[in-house]
Structure 1
Amino acid sequence: MNNLESILKLSYSPMTVFEFDIFREDKDICDFLEATSVYIIAKRKLPIMRLIDSASNGFKISVTMNNNSQDIEILMLQEDNIKLLHDGLMGIRVGNNTESKDEFHSITLLGKNERFIMNANMDRLIHLDSNKKIKLRVKGDIVPFITYEVLYIGQCTEEHIFKRFKSHHALMDILIKEKIIPPNYDKVNDLLILPFNIESNIISELTGDSSEKDLVEGLTGRFSFDNKTISLDCEKALIKAMDPKYNKQKFRQYPKSMDGLYNHNLKNIIYRIEENIILEYGNDNKINGSMNPEEASIISIKENNDFSIIN
């Protein structure tokens, strides 16, 4: 029989709905999001960034949120990021998602002769650091900043996520019912999109009792299910696990399904999130993502029947 371990990775760092709409015009980000097959709409207060210090060898910012009394400090130094900041930091531009002039929500770093280095909101900085693309020195409790309240889970296996959201009824439904738009439209920044791609490992257990189908699949590596089927199954598993309030279809009978993995008779299925994020749902329930596999929550399906969440 076959065993499946599927790992969810962010195609791009979490972004506010405001940012998501702007990113439609960015080809590089479109390319990053090409592999997205499952996404989460979540809620978290907008992080507010303030510049503490900057010089040619780096910068320091403080970050806070309205519902969190504790700040964190983020320090990025040239000595820790030689490849990225090889000619030093010569300029900083800030971006603002609201009309406030006293705070900013993204930062653009410039090198010599205004060479573009990077643009990032807080989520982007933390995501790149956790994936070892950059190195930050972070002081303070980061947990509230990487915790997201799950509102909706969906899939985009047939089209790019930008096209999926062009006519997505759930997005406006959440915006209105959560009172994120009117009367205070700037609160749209509290709503985020977390786009995921899925990397899967299939392990075949072949014995003298294995069926001909299992033998052929195990020896050739050509299985009766594809990435689309895995993504559709993953969406159902996540919805059953977290029961988001804006998903109208709850998949109560999962793992039974017509278009998921049920009919492929896998022995074990595991889903886990390989990102340093925390997903909140229900009454203080959490699914923990982690770059360390031993610390991540697991959604487990055994023998097409036994469904559990292991924290």
Structure 2
Amino acid sequence: MNRKSLLNQLELAYVPLTAYEFAIVKDDKLIDRALEKASLYLIGQRPVITFENVILDTTVYQLNFEIHQKGNPNILKCQLPFDQEIFGLMDDNLVDVAFNFLDKSIKQDKPPFQNIHGFSLVRHMKEGKEFIIWFSPEKLLQNWRKGIIDCEIDGDWKSFGNYKVHYVGKATKQSILKRLTGHSTFQDILSLEAPVTEKQLPANEIVILSFEFQDNLQIQSFGDGADTKEMVASLLGENYPEQEKVFLDAEKALIKSMQPSYNKELFNNYPVSKDGLYHDNYDAISYTFIDPIVLTYEEGEIRGGLTHIGGDAILILDNKEFKLAKHE
């Protein structure tokens, strides 16, 4: 008997961006390029995350700091050395650190510096100063986790990856940055959602998570009397569905799973659809998240990154049964 399955692994295409950060980078061509393979996004919310007790240690040329989140009892103690390959420093380079304070009305002239939602490293050159890199707490944690930067981090860093999901969307015809610029639902969420933390702006809590596929693994088995052309097409990967169609199907699967409050169409008839994978007649389809994030919604949560192949899985079986399989 012939059987066909499709295993889809979703991965963050870029660091989660707060609405405040999005407003700054929405015209950035480099970030737009980083998101070129991403067509699925979530708009979520989490308490504010900040850098605290920040001190520049000139004796060993590094930045010492903590990462805090409102309502999270865990504190991360961190040391970021400047002398690492990715920063591209020469022996005689000096580095400045520019801070983005959450509350600009409070002057801070001496370390340790507090209440910082981001910082930039700037290199001194003969021609002047040159921007090196910018970090939010989430960008620093993601870059460290992926091995892009060296940083010493002590504490329960996974507890900083929880997001309450408000909306699931797709951007198959244009980039996510363009899609969200002037997006009415995005503006509604910013206007209507109360801050989780007292005295905070929703723009510092509402977060955009953009996803691409790390892998779409199609598995086919063939029984007696199988069509030879179909077998050859499978071996050559010629019968894979178009990526756009998988994104459209993934959007429906996530919306049906989480029923986000700002999605008007909840796809209650899914997996039946005109533009998803329904007509490809898979025996099994799964969607799972590679990153160690937790997506919370009214009826529960979906956890990612629990193993090297993902975490909790959204399953569609025999083109009709729909369920969330929790990882043990």
Give the TM-score, by structure 1 length: 0.89
Task: State the Cα RMSD in Å.
Answer: 2.6
Q: 1:137 — aligned with what? A: 152
1:222 correspondence with 2:227: no
**Residue 68 of structure 1: SS of its match in structure 2?**
coil
Cα deviation for residue 23 of structure 1 reads: 0.5
Q: 2:111 — aligned with what? A: none
- Paired residues of 2:118 and 2:136 also in contact (CA < 8 A): yes
Q: Name stretches of at least 5 consecutive residues in structure 2 with no aligned partner.
A: 107-113
For residues 196 and 117 of structure 1, the distance between their equivalents in structure 2, rounded to whole angstroms, comes to 26
CA 226–112 in structure 1, closer or farther in 2 if over 3 Å, else same: same
After the TM superposition, which segments of 4 or more aligned residues of structure 1 sit over 6 Å from their partners? none
Q: Trace 1:123-272 onto structure 2 (pairs within 5 A).
A: 123-180=138-195, 186-198=201-213, 199-211=215-227, 214-215=230-231, 217-223=233-239, 225-272=241-288
Q: Name stretches of at least 5 consecutive residues in structure 1 with no aligned partner.
A: none
Structure 1 or 2: larger helix share?
1
How many residues in Structure 1 have an aligned counterpart in Structure 2? 308
Letter in 2 for 1:136: C
Q: 1:72 — aligned with what? A: 76
**Residue 260 of structure 1: SS of its match in structure 2?**
coil
Cα deviation for residue 185 of structure 1 reads: 7.8
Q: Which is further off, 32-41 or 157-166?
A: 157-166
1:303 correspondence with 2:318: yes
Q: Which is further off, 272-281 or 113-122?
A: 113-122
Q: 1:62 — aligned with what? A: 66
**Residue 234 of structure 1: SS of its match in structure 2?**
helix
For residues 50 and 282 of structure 1, the distance between their equivalents in structure 2, rounded to whole angstroms, comes to 32
For residues 28 and 306 of structure 2, the distance between their equivalents in structure 1, rounded to whole angstroms, comes to 28
1:105 correspondence with 2:117: yes
Cα deviation for residue 248 of structure 1 reads: 1.5
- Paired residues of 1:85 and 1:111 also in contact (CA < 8 A): no
For residues 51 and 311 of structure 2, the distance between their equivalents in structure 1, rounded to whole angstroms, comes to 29
Letter in 1 for 2:104: E
The one of 1, 6, 12 aligned to 2:14: 12
Cα deviation for residue 9 of structure 1 reads: 1.3
Larger radius of gyration: 2
Q: Trace 1:275-290 onto structure 2 (pairs within 5 A).
A: 275-283=291-299, 285-290=300-305
**Residue 250 of structure 1: SS of its match in structure 2?**
coil
Give the TM-score, by structure 2 length: 0.84
Cα deviation for residue 100 of structure 1 reads: 4.6
Q: Which is further off, 63-72 or 229-238?
A: 63-72
Deviations 1:48-83 (A, max 9, x none): 21243223532111122232344222222357x445
- Paired residues of 2:314 and 2:322 also in contact (CA < 8 A): yes
Q: 2:98 — aligned with what? A: 93
Identity %: 28
